[in-house]
Structure 1
Amino acid sequence: MPRLPKIFCILGLLAALAAPAGAAELVDRVVAVVNGKLITLFDVNTKVVDVVQRTQGVALKPGDPRVDELRRQMLDSMITEMLIEDEAARMKINVSETEIDTQIDELKKKNSLSQQQLVAELAKEGLTLKQFRQRMRDDSMRKRLLGFMVHRKVLVTEDEIRDYYEKNRGNLPTAKSLLGPKVTGTIGFIMVPSKKQADELRAKINSGGMSFADAAKKFSIGPGRDQGGDLGDVQAKDLAAPLRDALKAAPAGQVSEPVMLDGKAVLLMQRSDKAAPAQPAPAPVAAAPAGGSYEGAREQIQELLYKQKFDKIFQEYIENLRSKAVIEVKL
């Protein structure tokens, strides 16, 4: 019984996303054909619902122009996933449950975590154990595909590690996330119960009486509270139109006018001390100690640079798969 409200919520949002196309289109309309396999509008909308539920700062309503854009982005991702699955099947590549179990056991041992502690750490990252297992499986599949099909080693040299260390000495990671390097967002987000409280907080932050991060941790009831209001990789274009407009109107480093969202007041800030990274960059979990040693940071810098190179090569590989595939998009 406790799961019923969630199911009703999903069905309701799916219906809203489908409007005004009609109930038949919700189930029956084919929006893409990939090498003869179908993707329906229902498949896409289900994925969109999941994203919206996990990103509370995004508000979608029938007629919102962002719905179509989010659908297109999700469809593109689903096409990529289907191509990867097809290629893995062709190459007879498989990642078994036993292999995932072994990887998780190694992860727990490396980080001195019990099963309960692992689940708790994943919850902080916004993931369930099931979602984490799927992420590990997807990552393993990509690495195996790259190993089979791309005869180029992803190599990170000592000079590259040293160069990164010298250029980012004051902004080095000091603790690892179970999910690897994070992307620190450029948008600050605070949600409070009333406009009056929002006005008071805005005045206090803009006058220097309190930092945005401290205010978020102390008062916010919205997403990113424990991260000081950091929305992670959510960008301005991902926000509902009223939030996007308020953020645009506020000078960088200053808090926006309050925006009412679902009966709550929201404050936003575009951080002036960070630019959106072209490649994923690490967010320090804690301030790096002055004069932190190269040896202490070397392993994480190597992992970060490896991931950046791997992602670039893999994207080139996916683009090559797309060029050979028969893809028809009808969305």
Structure 2
Amino acid sequence: MRRISVFSAARGVAALICFTFVTLFTTPLPLQAAQLVDKVVAVVNNEIITLSELNEEGKTVFKRIAATTPANQLEDTLMHAREDILDSLIDKRLIAQKAAENHIRVADSEVDAALDSTIRRNGITKEMLLVKLAEAGLDEATYRSTLRSQILQSKLVGAEVHSKIVITEDMIQEHYREQYTSKIANGAYYLLQMGFSWETPDGGDQSSATLYANKADALKRAERIHKLVVAGQDFGALAQKYSDLPSAEDGGDLGTFLLDDMASDMRSAVADLNNGEVSEIIETHSGYQFFKVLSAGEDALVEKASYESVREEIRSALFEVEAERTYEKWVKELKDKAYIQKL
């Protein structure tokens, strides 16, 4: 339910605006004073947003639109841009009002820290930043004001939205089951593959010393990485970095195979392996390979990654989704309770 005091104040502002407009058109003013009059484009509770604020907020966007939009589309494009920017200003004003209500403030030192962080993160000096701002039609004061608004919003959203989001262990586990596990049919093997190829000399000479040296080098690489995998290092990460096969892009992931569908050398390497075991190195016609069995057996469950290795990643992803949903709901509730009028 909207508070009567908010409505009364808002209506008072609206009435004052109307009175001001009537006065302006009925009372003679010096030319200089008339030029100082600003137009009100929206009322947000007991505050106004002026045309000059709208133009200042959108000047970079308007400039880009004017430079890139065909003349026959310019008016409509600018109109839609102004509407979007006005909506953004209304949201900012609502957030600022809510922050004031909650006694949330942003100190100058916090703005200074945010400015310094921007400079360090981009590897530039303050002078270089000011040049880039000028190129975009902005000055330091405007940029600091933007930073202040962002910090204020972050504080308020943290208190009003993020602090109320709870990601439970059950939610994480459910996402893990849906996205990181799958069942395979009875008799199938879910395999990871690693391969190390050798280069055949020009002319295809299969007996040259060069070929022998190339094969020895490939075997040496295969043995070194095989030891790392057996010692417990991540197969997928090693495959992406060292494997010569196309499957390397997917961390060596080959998917599922029935024994009868495998090549003879692959079948002999994995047939007797249990879940999680790594095969010996085998020689193929063009290199050395070994495999890891992720899952095998009746109704086996394939885990693309261990739960612990992706738990925090899943939590963060779920939090981001929930934060966006909750924020949109929160802003809608702010608007529903507020007096907003576009003029």
**Structure with bigger gyration radius:** 2
TM-score if structure 2 supplies the norm length? 0.39
TM-score if structure 1 supplies the norm length? 0.40
Higher strand share: 2
Higher helix share: 2
